[in-house]
Structure formats: C-alpha cells, structure tokens
Structure 1
Amino acid sequence: MNSELVRTILAGVPLPIVLIGDDARVVAANAAAESLFGTGIEGRNYIIVLRQPGLLDCIEGTLRHRQTGQARYIVVGPSRETTYRVQTSAIEGADGGGVLVSFEDITDMETAGRMRRDFVANVSHELRTPLTALLGFIETLKGAARDDAAARERFLDIMEREATRMNRLVADLLSLSRVEAAERVRPTELVDLTALVKASIAAIRPIAADQGITLEYLGPEDALEVRADADQITQVMHNLIENAIKYGSTGEKVTVAVSHEERDISLRGPAVRIDVIDRGDGIDPIHIPRLTERFYRIDDHRSRERGGTGLGLAIVKHIVNRHRGRFRIESERGVGSRFSISLPMG
C-alpha cells in the first residue's frame, strides 16, 4: 500500500481511522486516531495499541476471514465515559491487504437512548402506583364495600386524590414537553417582571394562608422589563413558591425578593434576580446537584403525599435555560433554602 496516499486520504476523514496491515502492525492513523490513542503508534502491533478484547477479536476476525465486523470501544475519562462504535473492513491493495478500523463516537446517542428508557420507566412507575390504587378500590367497591356507605365515601375520596395526582403528572409532562420543544427559541416580548411576580404572589397567597404561611415580597415597585414569555415565567414563580410552601416552611414565611443587578458575572451584563427563600429544614448538599432531574425526589413518600410530581424543578430549569438565564439552589440544614433565577435584561 502506498503509505503517503493512504495518509493523505485518512487525514481528510474526521473520524478516528486506523489502518492495520496483514502483518498485524499499524500502517497509518489519522490525527483523530492519534488524539485517541497517542502519537507514534504506526509500526506497532495493533494488540498493543487497541488492547480491548472485544475490539481485538473483531479485528482478528476481519484479518482472517476478510469480512466486515462491528465492535464497541469504551474510553473512561476523568469526567465521563466515551463510547465508540467500531467498524472493521477488509481492504486489498496491489502490494498487500489489511483492515481499516473506523471509530464513531456514539456517546450522545447512547445517553439519549438511556435517558429515553429511564424517562419511560419513571413515567410508568409514577402512573402504576395511583392506577393500582384505583383498580384496588374499584374492585373493593364492587365487592365487599358495595353497601358500606362510610367505606364508599372514604374510598372515593382516595380515588379522587389519586386521579388528581395522575392528572397533575400528565399536565406537568405535557408542560415539560412544550418547554423543551421551544427551549432554543429565546422570547422577544418585553415583560414587566415586577408586576408578574406580584401577581404570582397574590394568586398563591390563599394557598399559603391555608398552610399558615405568610408570603412576603421584597423588591422595587417600579417596572423591571426583561424579554420573556410571561406564561412560562409565571409557571416558574408558581412552581418555586408552591415548592417552598410544601417542603420548605413550617409555619414560617416565604420571601420572594426581586432585585436589579447592574452586572451579573455569569450573564455578562445587567440582570434581574428573583430569590424564593424559605425557612425550612434545608436540603442536604448531596441532593442539590440532582434536584432539577426529572422525577428526582429527596423524600418520595412526603412528595407524593403533598401532590408533588417530581417534575417542577426540571420545568423551571428548562424555562430558565430558554430565557438564557441562570438557576441556582442554595441551602443550609436547619436554616432554609434559596432558589434563585437570574434573567438578562435587554
């Protein structure tokens, strides 16, 4: 094989490519392959370079039987694991043959597939519990409790609660789907954030009062305009304030603070910051990085008892991302939690 011609061709391929000769030595490798396996691999035995048994068996099969093969090659890095789909093809030349080995990075594809499977499994799990309860109570009402008025009323109340939870879960799933579909399109309409936050507090105040919790507003009375989707920011406020009422306060107050920052370092410009602060038990730091994951709950039983779906903070994260903002969670055990969003102005 003409080594110079081979190198010229391989250099134009963006995927890592390694050419192995019939003598089991590396004939050529492009720059992408050298970044993966290191420089100076030409002339070395492919077993020493590639190492992983599944891939070595695939190459050996192609060398011996001259047939196409597929394998996986996994690179474990400091922060993540990268998976390559490897294709081995036999090649023939005037001065000898060999095996062309190409590496395609399928990490994102596999991650997306795993997320999809996890999502389906989580949704199935979330729906299975209330459905099982409903079916059980229906069977009881059709049988032993048919003529028991007190039991019938009690069971119907529980059935209504479970059906309401399922309806809330479906609504949150649809909301999350809509938010993700529009996440790359930044809103352009100017919205008065001060008025929007005050309206959200007024709407939720009766719910807070029922729980014995006071809602407090701290911030300017003048308009603070940002480019935003008013409905989505209202949803963010409702999610954060209701979250603080459900999980963060024990007969105390929840503070919603709005402030204008001349320069937000993370946004590289002026911003409006909204803090929702509770005085609850606080959150163990180990949970904070995962709070915005779908269906992640610190306390499954407590969350379900209070009507949580495990999707509220995931929705908040995606909405804030769509607005090119930042979402932060700070908490201290025994002191309370602060959920903050920063939205760019202009």
Structure 2
Amino acid sequence: MADTAPPFEGSRRRAAVSLPLIALAIGLALVAYLVPDARPPALGALALAALVGLIQRGARASRQRNAVKTDASSPLWPNASVKSVVDAMREPAFVLDRNLALRFSNAVGIQTFGNMALGDPIAMRFRAPELIAAMAESIESGEAQMTEYAERAPSERAWAVDILPMPMPGEARPVFFLALFRDRTQMRRLERIRTDFVANASHELRTPLASLSGFIETLKGPARDDPKARAQFLDIMQDQARRMSRLIDDLLSLSRIEMRRRLEANELTDLVSVMRVVAQQAAPTAAEKNLALELTGLEEGEALVNGDHDELVQVFGNLAENALKYGDAGGRIQIGLTRTDETVEAFVRDFGQGIPPEHVPRLTERFYRVEDGSGRVRGTGLGLSIVRNVLIRHNTRLSISSIPGQGSTFSVRFRLRVPGAFEKSQYKS
C-alpha cells in the first residue's frame, strides 16, 4: 500500500527523530565549556553523538531510496502504459504522489521547465503558493482542480494548470495525480491586444464625435444667427467628419489585410512600376508644398519581386505621404531603389526634422503617433501598422533609420525574382 500521509509528513517525522540527538549534543557542548575537568570525556561523547547522527542520516537516505525502488516496482507505480500516454502529451505533464513528490515527467515538461529528480517535492521547481495550494486541495479532496501559473523569467509565459486525480485499481483514494500545464501565453497576449485595440479605437472615434456634438449644439443655440461663426464651425465639423472617415477606412483596411492569405510564389510585380505610381500620386502634394521630388534607381529596368502591386503601392504611398507631411522642412523627398545581385531595396527618404530615437521602435504600433514640430499629433496612427501587416504578408519587414535634424529613411528589402524561376522559399530580411 502506498504511503497516504499528508504532504511533508515525512519531514516532520525526521525532525522528531533528530531532536533528542540535537539536545544531547547541546548538553555535551555545555558540559565541556563549563567543566574543564570533564572536557575530554564530553568532547569524546560529542564526537560519538555526531557519528551516530551521520549513521542515522545515511540509514534514512538508504530507506528513502529503497522506498522509491519499492514503489517503482509495485503495481501502484505509474506503469509503462501510463508513462507512454503522459509522454505522448503535447503539453508539459507531471505525475505526482500524495506527498507532492515528482514520480514522472514527460519530455515536453523536461524541455520546458528543466529536469527534476524523481522523488523531489514539486515545490522545489514551482515556487507558486496558489499552484501548490491547488495541488494540495486536489490531494485532500480527491477531485480535479484548475489554477493558473505565470513565469516572468527567462521569458513571460502564462499557463492554465489542471490537477487531475489518477484512480488506481484497489485504491479507495487516488494515489497519483496528473499536473497538466496548458500554454496560454499567446491567448493572453491576443486578449491584451484586442482590449487595447478596442480602447484605442473607441477613444479615437469619441474625440471627433464629441467635437461634432459640441458644434451642433452651438449652432442650434448661441451661433444660430451668426453666419460667420456658422461657416467656421461647419468647416471644423467637416474636418472632424473626414478624420472619422479616414479612421474607419484605415480600420477596415487593416482588418482586410490581416485576414488575407499569404502570397502565391508565382505572384510577381515590378517595383519600378510601383515606385513610379507612388511618385505620380505624391507629385501634386509635393508641388503644393514646394518640395522637390527626386527619383533614384528607377532607370535600370524592371525589378521583379514576389508581391501584390496594389498593396505595395499602398505601402510606399503611405510612406511617401508621411514624408510629405512630416519631412517637408527638408525641401526635398527621395523615392527610389537600390539593388544588389540578388536583392532590391525600395525606400522613401525625407530630409526633415527626423524622429527621436525613443519613438522609432514603436512607430508601427496601432494608434502610436509622434508630435510634429508644432506640438500637434496628426494622422490616425494606423498608417504604419497597415504597412507592417502588408509587409508581413510579403514575408519582409520595414526598416526605419532616422537622425534628428537630418531626416528619416523608410526602406523595405525584397528578393529579386526571374520570370519562370519561381522558388518556394521566401526571402527574409
């Protein structure tokens, strides 16, 4: 019959056995200190007591090893069939006994949490009071328990843990328990992203709506008979309505992009054509702002890449629009390509005020915006997030280089393709 003592009962028994020996050692030490004539025999007795303690400790360790071996050979030990089932699980799983000692760990558990010696208390690895309490509750009640476990190092991970009793033939109470860890890290991350997205979208829509509502009330009240104020307020209301329209368009565009499949390997487009279309679209705004629009690297012939023409026009059109909006102080904008034997890099460069380095890593986050030189925040904050998601679909990424006071360069690297020689592998920058 397996030991059904409550968790850590063995530790209390060992402490009780050792107390008389500890008391004897303390008494002999006091005699040796207080009675000089009795010091030699007292020290001899103290040495003998220490030797007896070592012998007892060795005997205890031997009994523990024998107990583990006995349990391992008994029908109650997790047999080969149970081990094979637990080892086949795709999530970390551990078999524990009623003392919360580890009896078996599957390969995924060892890979995820490191190797643990059989027979060691599970609390030596998982120092989480809620988790240990749930395990103890399952042992006490004989019923399944569920809890959560989180780790902050070496990386942040979240787990849902099921503690499941494992009934054994001939045993009224479960002797072994399965602790199954289910990774919920990605789910928690998506929940945070969704929550943040809803909060940010609501805030962005609430601002122009509040403005429209306020001006409507003003037009119905104090400004009812003021033609000048009415014209001014209507212009502002039109700007706010356009802002909401742009925001909704960007949200819908972002949603469509995230739902699309990856590109086919034989889907080709010419980056030279893409950049010429972008330059043509940007020309009127550049002329209006007296900015020189320079095209570089487009005269060397076509540059075929695996990509969707319209989506790439959207990507570089967005980058050109940002350059015209935030880099107009530099007097010129560059749109072009640089090539190597196997790759081509498309870029948009401005020579304006640049971006402070602390903002650069976060520019592609949804709704993240940087103040312009006037202290205002412009745009919806979704443009570069759309760029990022389109480029993920194209199996590449956006590189951002910026020096405050000198300007910014937004570039994307692609692998050049040859018509008729389609490769299954995609280029990763």
- For normalisation by structure 2, the TM-score amounts to 0.74
Select which of 14, 18, 29 maps to 2:105.
Answer: 29
Letter aligned with residue 230 of structure 1: H
Question: Could you say what secondary structure the match of 2:310 adopts?
Answer: helix
Q: C-alpha distance in 2, partners of 1:286/1:90?
A: 52
Choose 291-300 or 65-74, whichever is displaced more: 291-300
- Structure with greater helix share of residues: 2
2:396 aligned with 1:325 = yes
Instruction: Tell whether the 8 Å contact from 2:157 to 2:185 is kept in structure 1 after alignment.
Output: yes
Select which of 347, 350, 354 maps to 1:282.
Answer: 354
What is the correspondence of 1:134-153 to structure 2 with a 5 Å cutoff? 134-153=212-231
Could you tell me how far 1:139 is from its partner in structure 2?
Answer: 0.8
Instruction: Tell whether the 8 Å contact from 2:352 to 2:408 is kept in structure 1 after alignment.
Output: yes
Could you tell me how far 1:300 is from its partner in structure 2?
Answer: 8.3
Could you tell me how far 1:60 is from its partner in structure 2?
Answer: 1.2
- Structure with greater strand share of residues: 1
Could you tell me how far 1:18 is from its partner in structure 2?
Answer: 1.2
Q: C-alpha distance in 2, partners of 1:172/1:186?
A: 25
Partner of 2:6: none
Partner of 2:79: 4
The 3 A distance-change label for structure 1 pair 11 and 187 is closer
Q: C-alpha distance in 1, partners of 2:201/2:231?
A: 29
2:374 aligned with 1:298 = no
Letter aligned with residue 91 of structure 1: M
Select which of 228, 231, 235 maps to 1:157.
Answer: 235
Q: C-alpha distance in 2, partners of 1:211/1:72?
A: 57
> Which of the pair has the greater relative contact order for Cα pairs under 8 Å at 6+ separation?
1
Letter aligned with residue 198 of structure 1: R
Could you tell me how far 1:212 is from its partner in structure 2?
Answer: 2.3
Could you tell me how far 1:251 is from its partner in structure 2?
Answer: 5.0
Letter aligned with residue 229 of structure 1: D
2:271 aligned with 1:193 = yes
Partner of 2:311: 232
2:337 aligned with 1:337 = no
Q: C-alpha distance in 2, partners of 1:115/1:281?
A: 31
1:111-155 deviation digits (Å, cap 9, x = unpaired): 111111111111101101000000111111111111111111111
Q: C-alpha distance in 2, partners of 1:187/1:158?
A: 48
- For normalisation by structure 1, the TM-score amounts to 0.91
Could you tell me how far 1:316 is from its partner in structure 2?
Answer: 1.1
Instruction: Tell whether the 8 Å contact from 2:352 to 2:405 is kept in structure 1 after alignment.
Output: yes
1:251-275 deviation digits (Å, cap 9, x = unpaired): 510111212221xxxxxxx222111
Q: Which runs of 5+ in 2 are unaligned?
A: 1-75, 418-429
Q: C-alpha distance in 2, partners of 1:309/1:187?
A: 33
Question: Could you say what secondary structure the match of 2:167 adopts?
Answer: strand
Q: C-alpha distance in 2, partners of 1:251/1:35?
A: 54
Q: C-alpha distance in 2, partners of 1:272/1:47?
A: 55
Choose 320-329 or 169-178, whichever is displaced more: 320-329
Question: Could you say what secondary structure the match of 1:110 adopts?
Answer: helix
Instruction: Tell whether the 8 Å contact from 2:93 to 2:105 is kept in structure 1 after alignment.
Output: yes
Instruction: Tell whether the 8 Å contact from 1:212 to 1:251 is kept in structure 2 after alignment.
Output: no
Q: C-alpha distance in 2, partners of 1:55/1:317?
A: 39
The 3 A distance-change label for structure 1 pair 154 and 225 is same
Corresponding pairs, count: 337
Query: What RMSD in Å do the two structures reach over aligned CA positions?
Result: 2.0
